[in-house]
Chain A
Amino acid sequence: MLLGQDHITEEGEFVINMGPQHPATHGVLHLKIGLDGETIKKIEPHLGYIHRSIEKMCEQLSYRQFIFTTSRMDYLSAHINNQACVLAVEKALQVEATPRAKAIRVLMAELTRLASHQLWWACMGLDLGAVTPFFYAFREREAINTIIEETCGTRLTQNYMVPGGVMMDIHPNFQKRVKEVLKQIKEKAHEYDELLTGNVIFQQRLKGVGYLSKEDAVSYGCSGPTARASGVSCDVRKLFPYDGYEQLKFDEILNTEGDSWARYLVRLGEMKQSISIIEQLIDNIPEGDFQAKTKNVIKLPKGDFYQRVETARGELGVYIVSDGGATPYRCKFRSPNFSNLSAIPKMAEGAKIGDLVAIMATVDLVIPDIDR
């Protein structure tokens, strides 16, 4: 998709194409950049390199199947994408997941969020030229993925959610392993601070770079940590709680600075909140069934249904239009990365090439989620 006309045609402008193959775009994002020396004048995102028509595919799949196509959208929060779909289906069927299933879902979602933010932190360092943090973050991320693998069978696209609950019960070792990993993360937290957070070069690269005002964040439809760093309170877990988030104590991390450093701090804070949520739940998983009874062939009543969740990158909305059949009549996903990407040209105005890389790293784009 081209965003409007091809604007970068002025005489004397130095145009470079960042992507679709570029080390810093983390996928097949294509940014057409108009430069004046090293200073960025204009940015045009060009999309469509990884469009798989997931929304159209959903129309052919039953309500049990279409959930799992969303794992391939934002693959780093695959679990939370699936959760959005099952919640939409449950809302339409007016079925509620069992308490145990809800607790497991939240635990898995927060583990996913933690792992996703860890990958973001790893790539953050990598994008700014520090290779070492990558390996430190992956040490913990791999441990989390191993826990998820034990229960769900896969490491990245878990496909664990079914309408009414989760696909199978948690592994007997689950609680023990999670506690071990949380202990490890807390013990190693100082390494993260020493490697990046406390580094002068790192702070200078981020502070005051990529400013996004509160008004702009709202008007571009930003969500998640990107918007919260500009002072927009938009945590779906707080504002429209689902799956029992209303009973948990956690803070919505807000920052009013709006620069890259604020986005960095918000994500770091969110990792701590995720840990706190997991700690509250891990010993209090209710006993009982892990799945509520649903019919084998799910047919949604006629009408349209919307459910939003907070993924690691922002607000994911699932909109299903049903004509009463066994497959969705129309399916639409509102993905957080698409809106966050649209704010990048604004943030990077007048910045340097190096700043653009830093801004993209703090916005934490996942390209398959933009294109779907």
Chain B
Amino acid sequence: MVITGVCLLAFLVVLCFFLGYMERKVAAFMEIRLGPNRVGPKGSMQIVADTVKLLFKEGLTPDGADKFLFNLAPFIVVITSMLVVAPIAYARDFQLWDINIGVLYVSSISSMAVIGILMAGWSSSNKYSLIGAMRSGAQIVSYELSIGLSLISIVILSGSLQLSEIIESQANGWWIFKGHIPVIISFVIFIIASTAEINRAPFDLTEAEQELTGGFHTEYAGMKFAMFLLSEYINLFVVSAIAATIFLGGWMPFHIGGLDAFNHIMDYIPSSIWFFGKTFLIIFIIMWFRWTFPRLRIDQLLNLEWKYLLPISMVNILLVTAMAIMGWHF
């Protein structure tokens, strides 16, 4: 148990290194420049160098800060994002914790991250941090609704909250193909809302460098800051993995119901490659958002959720329910 946990943590840290490298390279690609290319082959060790730098930096605590909460906040943020990783299935028969309420677990634990962010903003004794934290409270609480509703649409279709069963239910085709337009709508809503949930551009209002100089983590430095960074990348991985699992079949190869020969060929591709391929496709899409879109304003952000995404997902739930009852899906 302990060994598994340590392995998972090591995996997550390595994954975050890779995501950090990937983000820099994607950004460089979008911005017609080269990106990191000095440290290590093709700059791959750049992120390690940065981590070493962060490790040696002074972990400053401001004078006016509430020291206990200030130092606790990064841990809460990073722990919540690591907890969410638990029920993810990485490959066929490779799931660390197949809890029977997987979807509920994921959505409830991930919403706890906002406590850490609020704590960080409040205890920093910095007005910019406070505004950032307040923004994040409004933002994360709102967008959770849409995430929940879009996840529920698949729960209704597959009839289970357990991630392994949801994956099994996609053996004859992924939900995004089987579920007609309503599931595509909930997939799009999930991607938008989860981008907002993990505070990434164009919804990075909590950090909003140009407005709030860094938002809730303005006062953090060194490893404490690195923890926020770590949790951002773990969150990025988690939402992409959840989207891949729920909508794109997780490790399930691309199957078309009835075409056995084709399905057999697809089975030869290892299931972990399917899982990580789908996850990284979604990660790339979310990075793509970040490097091409300007940031929304706070009222526009809330309008988008309460006036568009939420009503659409509510109607969508009805459609999906009708579809599930009538058996219209494949």
Q: Which residues of A contact B (CB under 8 A)?
A: 14-16, 22-24, 38, 125-132, 134-136, 139, 195-196, 199, 201-202, 204-205, 352-355, 357
Expressed in whole angstroms, the Cα–Cα distance for A134 and B292 within the complex equals: 11
Indicate if B58 sits at the interface (CB-CB under 8 A).
Answer: no
Indicate if B50 sits at the interface (CB-CB under 8 A).
Answer: no
Residues on the A chain within 8 Å of B297, using CB: 204-205, 352, 354-355
Q: What's the nearest-Cβ distance from chain B to residue A213, in Å?
A: 22
Residues on the A chain within 8 Å of B47, using CB: none
Inter-subunit contact A354/B295 (CB<8 Å): yes
CB contact under 8 A between A131 and B27, given known A201-B202, A354-B211, A354-B295: yes
Indicate if B296 sits at the interface (CB-CB under 8 A).
Answer: yes
Residues on the B chain within 8 Å of A128, using CB: 210, 294-295
Closest chain A residue, CB of each to CB of B300: A204
Expressed in whole angstroms, the Cα–Cα distance for A354 and B296 within the complex equals: 8
Residues on the A chain within 8 Å of B294, using CB: 125, 128-130, 196, 199, 201-202, 205
Per-residue CB contact flags for chain B residues 85-104 toward chain A (1 = under 8 Å, else 0) read: 00000000000000000000
CB contact under 8 A between A352 and B33, given known A129-B210, A130-B292: no
Expressed in whole angstroms, the Cα–Cα distance for A202 and B293 within the complex equals: 8
Inter-subunit contact A24/B211 (CB<8 Å): yes
Expressed in whole angstroms, the Cα–Cα distance for A132 and B32 within the complex equals: 9
Closest chain B residue, CB of each to CB of A17: B127
In B1-55, the 8 Å CB interface with A consists of 27, 30-33
Expressed in whole angstroms, the Cα–Cα distance for A127 and B299 within the complex equals: 18
Interface-centre pick from A15, A201, A352, A354 (highest chain B CB count, 10 A): A354
The 29 listed contacts between A and B (C-beta, < 8 Å) are A15-B127, A16-B128, A23-B213, A38-B298, A128-B210, A128-B295, A129-B204, A129-B209, A129-B295, A130-B295, A131-B31, A132-B27, A132-B31, A132-B291, A135-B33, A195-B292, A199-B293, A201-B293, A201-B296, A201-B300, A204-B296, A352-B297, A353-B131, A353-B211, A354-B205, A354-B208, A354-B295, A355-B297, A357-B211
Residues on the A chain within 8 Å of B293, using CB: 129-130, 199, 201
Residues on the A chain within 8 Å of B32, using CB: 135-136, 139
Q: What's the nearest-Cβ distance from chain B to residue A261, in Å?
A: 13
Knowing that A23-B209, A129-B209, A201-B294 touch, tell me 5 more A-B residue pairs with CB under 8 angstroms.
A129-B201, A139-B32, A199-B294, A201-B296, A204-B300
Expressed in whole angstroms, the Cα–Cα distance for A132 and B290 within the complex equals: 9
Q: Which residues of B contact A (CB under 8 A)?
A: 27, 30-33, 127-128, 131, 135, 201-202, 204-205, 208-213, 291-300
Closest chain B residue, CB of each to CB of A356: B211
Expressed in whole angstroms, the Cα–Cα distance for A38 and B298 within the complex equals: 8
Residues on the B chain within 8 Å of A22, using CB: 213
Inter-subunit contact A16/B127 (CB<8 Å): yes
Closest chain B residue, CB of each to CB of A22: B213
CB contact under 8 A between A352 and B295, given known A131-B27, A132-B31: no
Residues on the B chain within 8 Å of A204, using CB: 296-297, 300
Among all A-B residue pairs, the 3 with the closest Cβ atoms: A129-B295, A128-B294, A130-B294
CB contact under 8 A between A126 and B299, given known A135-B31, A199-B294, A353-B131: no
Interface-centre pick from B31, B128, B201, B213 (highest chain A CB count, 10 A): B31
Residues on the A chain within 8 Å of B202, using CB: 129, 201
Residues on the B chain within 8 Å of A196, using CB: 294
Inter-subunit contact A14/B31 (CB<8 Å): no
Q: What's the nearest-Cβ distance from chain B to residue A58, in Å?
A: 35
Expressed in whole angstroms, the Cα–Cα distance for A132 and B291 within the complex equals: 6
Closest chain B residue, CB of each to CB of A360: B210
- Name the contact of A14 in the complex, choosing from B33, B127, B208, B212 (C-beta under 8 A): B127
Residues on the B chain within 8 Å of A15, using CB: 127
Interface-centre pick from A38, A129, A130, A139 (highest chain B CB count, 10 A): A129
- Name the contact of B210 in the complex, choosing from A126, A136, A352 (C-beta under 8 A): A126
Residues on the A chain within 8 Å of B33, using CB: 135
Expressed in whole angstroms, the Cα–Cα distance for A346 and B212 within the complex equals: 22
Expressed in whole angstroms, the Cα–Cα distance for A127 and B208 within the complex equals: 9
Residues on the A chain within 8 Å of B212, using CB: 353
Q: What's the nearest-Cβ distance from chain A to residue B259, in Å?
A: 39
- Name the contact of A23 in the complex, choosing from B131, B135, B210 (C-beta under 8 A): B210
Closest chain A residue, CB of each to CB of B28: A135
Closest chain B residue, CB of each to CB of A124: B294
Q: What's the nearest-Cβ distance from chain A to residue B142, in Å?
A: 15
Expressed in whole angstroms, the Cα–Cα distance for A352 and B293 within the complex equals: 20
Q: What's the nearest-Cβ distance from chain B to residue A23, in Å?
A: 5
Expressed in whole angstroms, the Cα–Cα distance for A52 and B291 within the complex equals: 38
Q: What's the nearest-Cβ distance from chain A to residue B289, in Å?
A: 10
Residues on the A chain within 8 Å of B135, using CB: 38
Expressed in whole angstroms, the Cα–Cα distance for A353 and B297 within the complex equals: 9
Inter-subunit contact A129/B131 (CB<8 Å): no
Residues on the B chain within 8 Å of A132, using CB: 27, 30-31, 291-292
Q: What's the nearest-Cβ distance from chain B to residue A181, in Å?
A: 17
Expressed in whole angstroms, the Cα–Cα distance for A355 and B295 within the complex equals: 11
Q: What's the nearest-Cβ distance from chain A to residue B206, in Å?
A: 12
Expressed in whole angstroms, the Cα–Cα distance for A16 and B294 within the complex equals: 24
- Name the contact of A127 in the complex, choosing from B210, B213, B300 (C-beta under 8 A): B210
Q: What's the nearest-Cβ distance from chain B to residue A103, in Å?
A: 34
Closest chain A residue, CB of each to CB of B205: A354
Closest chain A residue, CB of each to CB of B128: A16
